[in-house]
Amino acid sequence: MLVVLDGYAPGLAGAEHMAWQTASHLAERGHRVAVLAASSRPEAPGRVPVLTPAHARAGLPWAPDVVHLFDLARPGLVPLALEVARSCGAVLAVTPATTPELWPDRELATAACREAGVVFALTGHETRELTAAGAVRQRVQRIGQGPQLTGRPDPGGFRADRDITGPAALFLGRRAPFKGYRAFLEAAPLVWAREPSAVMVLAGPSWEGGAEAPLPRGGRFCDLGVPDGQTKHNAIAACDVLCLPTTADVFPLVFVEAWACGRPVVSGRFPGVEEVVRDEVDGLVVPSRPDAIAAALLRLLGDPDLRARMGRAGRRRVEAELGWDRVAEQVERGYRSAGAGGRTWTR
Per-residue pLDDT of 172-201, as tens digits, reads 999 999 999 999 999 999 999 999 999 999
**Domain at 289, CATH number:** 3.40.50.2000
Least confident of 7-21, 87-101, 155-169, 247-261: 7-21
Amino acid at position 316, single letter: R
pTM for the whole structure: 0.90
| pLDDT on residue 218 | 84
Q: Is residue 342 part of a domain?
A: no
What is the structure's pLDDT at 246? 98
Is residue 346 in a domain? no
Calculate the CA dihedral of residues 320, 322, 325, 326 and round it to 10 degrees.
Answer: 80
The reply to whether 130 and 198 lie within a common domain is: no
- Total domain count, the chain: 2
343 found inside a domain:
no
Lowest model confidence (mean pLDDT) among 82-96, 208-222, 226-240 = 208-222
The arithmetic mean of pLDDT across residues 51-63, rounded, is 79
* Residue 344, domain member (yes or no): no
For the chain, the average pLDDT equals 91
Question: Does the pLDDT at position 210 exceed 80?
Answer: no
Could you tell me the pLDDT band of residue 290, with boundaries at 50, 70 and 90? very high
Helix ranges restricted to H, the chain:
14-28, 53-58, 78-88, 106-115, 124-133, 155-161, 181-194, 229-238, 253-260, 290-301, 304-321, 324-337
Q: Which domain holds residue 260?
A: 155-321
> Within this chain, do residues 73 and 9 fall inside the same structural domain, yes or no?
yes
Residues 205 and 114 in one domain: no
At residue 12, the pLDDT reads 60
Same domain, 94 and 54: yes
In tens, the pLDDT along 259-283 reads 999 999 999 999 999 999 999 999 9
Quote the pLDDT of residue 52. 77
Residue 11 has pLDDT above 50, yes or no: no
Are 41 and 126 part of one and the same domain? yes
Q: Are residues 312 and 164 in the same domain?
A: yes
190 and 300 fall within a common domain: yes
